[in-house]
């Protein structure tokens, strides 16, 4: 019997069981180490505390990647996945990717991306494609990996090659299908998401099964004009003044408010909180009024969308910058000035807030 997605119920159940296992492992580590820190903090050395915190951070990032993959796949399957296409410097994207996912011990990567080659893609999502292909090579392939590219009349071919045993023939027909894996490693999501991303760029991806040794994944992308001039971002088109001092954080989750407060207060900002939109409107009557609103969307009483509508409709609050922080990675909210997906990087939150806080006083 097959489910509505065309995947057998047996395969889907196996996959859900695997995802549950992948979730339980980092959750167990995070809860266990956090409980240890709470119960035994005075008995631990500074080095032990630092190691506990580092492992909590690593496992949190692992959870974030898995949840992000699941959300991406859901968006791709529903046809609601969106990308922002623009010219991207391929060599620069490759260097940033290697910084994010350097080869593990025993592996090496040859970076052979020509300079001055630009492709049409979403910058962040192109790096996600490269990350997925490189980590796939690290996990399954040989010790030597090559990330290269070449121009052709058809476009730019980007190739990730490793000198391992190659993909087993039995897996090749379903290699880019979700839930496809070798029964021992991986969630079976990475290549399915990679194909969805490349499709969104208007490109193609395939596996060269005829290679006698190693595995070669090829991506064909549209070439863009060299050295393009990009239009400035919205925050770069005004005569900015720097007056960000007070920030209103709106979220129904107290732990999320606490996290955002900690990030902003560490940088010297004043932070006030509200647990839903109605409470936020009351906070906005205070003097001095907040210089920035950071809000979630899904909240009881009044959600973020209605809050934004009311702020934009009121002349007294219409010009306050609004940053949406949401679990929806592809969120677009009318009236908001910017959006960040949960989980977010603290530097990205601060950089975005500072940019929005430099609103033109005129």
Distance between CA 129 and CA 240 in Å, rounded? Answer: 35
Distance between CA 293 and CA 273 in Å, rounded? Answer: 10
Mean pLDDT of 143-168: 92
* Cα 220 to the center of its chain, rounded Å: 23
* Phi–psi pair at 181, nearest 5 degrees: -155, 175
Domains of the chain, by residue range, sit at 9-78, 86-221, 239-357
Per CATH, domain 9-78 is 3.40.190.10: no
Mean pLDDT of 223-246: 54
**273-284 per-position pLDDT tens digit:** 999 999 999 999
CATH architecture of the domain with range 239-357:
3-Layer(aba) Sandwich (3.40)
Mean pLDDT of 232-254: 64
Mean pLDDT of 205-211: 76
Tell me how long the chain is. 362
CATH architecture of the domain with range 86-221:
2-Layer Sandwich (3.30)
**pTM of structure:** 0.64
> Among 175, 60, 194, 201, which residue's Cα sits nearest to residue 128?
194
Q: Give Cα separations from 179 to 15, 26, 71, 73, 194 (angstroms).
A: 6, 21, 15, 11, 13
Mean pLDDT of 45-55: 92
**66-122 per-position pLDDT tens digit:** 887 787 777 787 777 778 889 999 999 999 999 888 999 999 999 999 998 999 999
pLDDT of residue 1: 38
pLDDT at 182 exceeding the cut of 80? no
pLDDT of residue 359: 56
Burial string for 146-162 (b: 16+ CB within 10 Å, else e) reads: bbebeeeeebbebbbbb
Q: Which residue is listed with tokens 């049409």?
A: 120
| pLDDT band at 259; cut points 50, 70, 90 | very high
């Amino acid at each position: 019997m097959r489910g509505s997605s065309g995947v057998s119920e047996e395969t889907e159940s196996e996959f859900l069981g695997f995802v549950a296992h992948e979730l339980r492992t980092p959750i167990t580590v995070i809860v266990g180490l956090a409980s240890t820190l709470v119960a035994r903090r005075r008995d631990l050395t500074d080095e032990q505390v630092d190691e506990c915190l580092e492992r909590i951070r690593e496992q949190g990032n692992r959870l974030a990647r898995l949840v992000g993959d699941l959300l991406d796949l859901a968006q791709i399957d529903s046809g609601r996945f969106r990308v922002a296409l623009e010219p991207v410097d391929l060599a620069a994207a490759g260097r940033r990717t290697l910084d994010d996912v350097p080869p593990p011990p025993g592996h090496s990567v040859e970076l052979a991306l020509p300079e001055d080659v630009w492709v049409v893609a979403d910058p962040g999502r192109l790096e996600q494609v490269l990350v997925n292909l490189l980590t796939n090579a690290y996990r399954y392939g040989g010790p030597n990996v090559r990330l290269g590219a070449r121009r052709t009349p058809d476009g730019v071919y980007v190739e990730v090659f490793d000198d391992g045993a190659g993909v087993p023939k039995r897996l090749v027909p379903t290699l880019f299908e979700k839930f496809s894996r070798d029964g021992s490693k991986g969630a079976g999501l990475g290549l399915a998401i990679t194909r969805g991303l490349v499709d969104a760029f208007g490109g193609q991806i395939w596996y060269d099964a005829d290679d006698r040794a190693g595995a070669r994944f090829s991506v064909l992308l549209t070439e863009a004009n060299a050295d393009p001039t990009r239009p400035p971002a919205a925050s770069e088109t005004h005569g900015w003044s720097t007056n960000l001092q007070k920030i209103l954080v709106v979220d129904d989750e107290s732990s999320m408010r606490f996290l955002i407060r900690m990030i902003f207060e560490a940088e010297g900002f004043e932070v006030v909180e509200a647990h839903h939109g109605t409470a936020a409107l009351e906070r906005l009557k205070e003097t001095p009024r907040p210089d920035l609103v950071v809000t979630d969307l899904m909240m009881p009483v009044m959600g973020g969308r209605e809050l934004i509508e009311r702020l934009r409709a009121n002349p007294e609050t219409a010009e306050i910058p609004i940053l949406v922080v949401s679990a929806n990675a592809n969120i677009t909210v009318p009236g908001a000035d910017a959006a960040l997906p949960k989980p977010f990087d603290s530097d990205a939150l601060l950089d975005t807030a500072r940019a929005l806080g430099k609103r033109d006083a005129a």
